[in-house]
């Protein structure tokens, strides 16, 4: 992970959650000397988000470029993909060599279903927590967490929580001043406590 800039591979799929992707992208793009971003999908080309916006994936999981950081979003499309063996095999093949793997929201269900969270602590969207935690066989799911960092895995709670996780990730990789600069430039008041999770209480998980 000493290579600069680090390549962040962002996975897209039909039905991805827009803010899961572009919240982190907004922060990472404020540090262009530190991070370059590549958009991948099961097939290269236009990919439609849950909100109907189309984004162009320039690379395919069939022949993915290596990534220093793999980032998997959530969204309605995860429900189908979590039971798609061909997709999960490709996801695992691409992500496993990466020095760092992260997810936002129900993206952690895809990581778990692909075997990428075995032996790790992880969290996810609290509204979908019961569904997400049905994936993986040796995952320690943390019900009350804004995000969880366990060694080379980072997972966040739902949607907007991905921005807090990304700020923490930038701080981990590039230093606290870089994270503060990125947040300041987009006027984001970051939550810095990974255990502060009021939504876990609202959904009866804590």
Question: Which residue of the set 19, 69, 105, 161 is catalytic?
Answer: 105
* Cα distances (Å, whole numbers) of residue 46 to 39, 52, 171: 11, 11, 32
Largest alpha-carbon pair distance within the chain? 43
Query: DSSP alpha helices (H): ranges in the chain?
Result: 18-28, 78-81, 85-95, 107-113, 129-132, 161-174, 176-185, 198-202
Q: Establish whether 5 is a catalytic residue.
A: no
Contacts of 134 by beta carbon, 8 Å cutoff, 6+ apart: none
Q: Which residues are catalytic?
A: 105
């Amino acid at each position: 992970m000493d290579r600069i800039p680090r390549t962040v591979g962002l996975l897209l799929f039909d039905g991805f959650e827009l803010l899961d992707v572009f919240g982190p992208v907004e922060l990472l793009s404020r540090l262009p000397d530190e991070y370059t971003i590549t958009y991948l999908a099961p097939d290269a080309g236009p990919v439609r988000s849950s909100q109907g916006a189309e984004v162009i994936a320039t690379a395919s999981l069939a022949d993915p470029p290596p990534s220093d950081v793999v980032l998997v979003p959530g969204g309605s499309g995860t429900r189908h993909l979590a039971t798609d063996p061909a997709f999960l095999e490709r996801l695992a093949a691409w992500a496993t060599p990466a020095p760092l793997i992260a997810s936002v929201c129900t993206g952690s269900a895809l990581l778990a279903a692909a075997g990428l969270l075995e032996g790790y602590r992880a969290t996810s969207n609290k509204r979908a927590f019961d569904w997400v935690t049905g994936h993986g066989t040796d995952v320690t799911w943390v019900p009350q967490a804004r995000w969880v960092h366990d060694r080379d895995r980072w997972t966040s709670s739902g949607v907007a929580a991905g921005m807090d996780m990304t700020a923490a990730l930038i701080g981990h990789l590039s230093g606290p001043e870089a994270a503060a600069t990125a947040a300041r430039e987009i006027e984001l008041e970051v939550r810095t406590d990974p255990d502060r999770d009021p939504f876990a209480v609202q959904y009866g998980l804590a």
